[in-house]
Amino acid sequence: MNVEKVRKGFADHFNGATGSVYASPGRVNLIGEHTDYNGGFVFPGAIDKGMVAEIKLNGTNKINAVALDLNETATFGLTEEEAPTRSWARYIFGVCREIIKRGGKIGGFDTAFSGDVPLGAGMSSSAALESTYAFALNDLFSLGVDKFELAKIGQATEHNYCGVNCGIMDQFASVFGKEGSLLLLDCRSLEYKYYPFNPIGYKLVLLDSVVKHELASSAYNKRRQSCETVAAAIRKNHPEVEFLRDATLDMLNEVKADVSEEDYKRAEYVIEEVQRVMDVCAALEKGDYETVGDRMYGTHHGMSKLYEVSCEELDFLNEIAKKTGVTGSRVMGGGFGGCTINLVKEELYDNFVKEAFSAYTEKFGHAPKLYDVVISDGARKLS
């Protein structure tokens, strides 16, 4: 993380001053995709890439912020009328507003920040930014807000100030992350549990397809609708089924004649994915990374063939992983582009990367991007 860059940038912009330094990570999700809005489980972990900010209270009601990576500045106040126009500044402003709405007393500050979470690669740079400022302001103003509320402040910032109707997973992982552990999060109850993730002899590797197909938001809404339609059909026979998370494949088959073939396929994927997450939990407790990898491939197949949110580039990267003996590989995130997440034995790593780069470049005319990630701690004060 760019601590030195932030310290230098802060001193340069604010006449040699020094403040307190905070950091929050981006995240990966090992398994559990499109399960959140079906009341199911997700399995994220915080990573060793994130956002770093230096902050010093300035005794006014104004915030002077510097985005070091963009070389841009913004000054804004704490009332709704003083909202900044720059999109990155709205994240900081939104966090301040959400704290104020909850009764938190805060004032102005000077700040500079920088990140090494790749933008647009599905590792939640925005959640890392929100969590950094929520954690920092809670600490600097001694607000006594608990971690759950910090994650909700980040989520509400996305909803109310950045126009993104996201779930809670990204902010949750960024705040609650723990080195050497993944988080099983129940998206219905928000109960969570840490599971050991310390795959000795393996690397966790993201390959970024560097494509984003335009389908994403309309396709997302359509799939969500499919899931709700099938859950409603099943509920007629089984009133206890609130979400697809509560359904079994037997229940799904009972309504096969009453739902469209497309809706059936979408629901089949979700019900199977909920089970795969449970299988991975059991496997991690035994240190059984072969089963983890097998279920990752199962998720990719389901997302590609049943949920139909993969794309040619992601399927190609998944095939290369299979061919080169990678333990597990799947599309990570909503789909239609972005990254595959790969669990790779160390002795196969060099060959996998070499094959992936040469074959992908030959087929698509540009190389993928590579990110090695390590599971790390959540939001924290650095100095």
The single-letter code of the amino acid at 216 is A
Find all residues with CB under 8 Å of 351, minimum gap 6, and list them.
324
Name the DSSP letter for residue 303: I
Question: What pLDDT is recorded for position 215?
Answer: 60
Domain range list for the chain:
3-198, 202-373
In which residue are the tokens 């932030």 written?
Answer: 6
Fold of 202-373: Alpha-Beta Plaits (3.30.70)
Question: Which of 134, 170, 153 minimizes the C-alpha distance to 380?
Answer: 134
Question: What pLDDT is recorded for position 217?
Answer: 67
Question: In the numeric block, which tokens belong to residue 251?
Answer: 């229940």
What are the pLDDT digits (tens) for 350-365? 999 999 999 999 999 9
Question: What pLDDT is recorded for position 85?
Answer: 96
Question: What pLDDT is recorded for position 216?
Answer: 59
Report CA torsion sign: 155, 156, 159, 162: negative
Left, alpha or beta for 317 (phi > 0: left; psi -120 to 50: alpha)?
Answer: alpha
Question: In the numeric block, which tokens belong to residue 124?
Answer: 């939640």
β-sheet bridge partners, residue 193: 184
Q: Which stretches of 185-311 are DSSP H helices? A: 216-237, 249-254, 261-285, 289-301
Q: pTM of the entire structure?
A: 0.90
- How confident is the prediction along the chain (383 residues), in pLDDT tens digits per residue? 789 999 999 999 999 999 999 999 999 999 999 999 999 999 999 999 999 999 999 999 999 999 999 999 999 999 999 999 999 999 999 999 999 999 999 999 999 999 998 776 778 889 999 999 999 999 999 999 999 999 999 999 999 999 887 888 999 999 999 999 999 999 999 999 999 998 999 999 999 999 887 665 678 889 999 999 999 999 999 999 999 999 999 999 999 999 999 999 999 999 999 999 999 999 999 999 999 999 999 999 999 999 999 999 999 999 999 999 999 999 998 888 889 999 999 999 999 999 999 999 999 999 999 999 999 999 999 97
Q: Are 295 and 279 in contact (CB under 8 A)?
A: yes
Helices 125-140 and 87-101 cross at an angle (nearest 10°) of 40
What are the pLDDT digits (tens) for 140-152? 999 999 999 999 9
Distance CA 59, CA 204 (A): 44
Question: What pLDDT is recorded for position 214?
Answer: 67
Element (H, E) at 198: none
Active site residues: 170
CA 87 to chain centre: 19
User: Which of helix, strand or coil describes residue 37?
Assistant: helix
β-sheet bridge partners, residue 332: 339
Fold of 3-198: Ribosomal Protein S5; domain 2 (3.30.230)
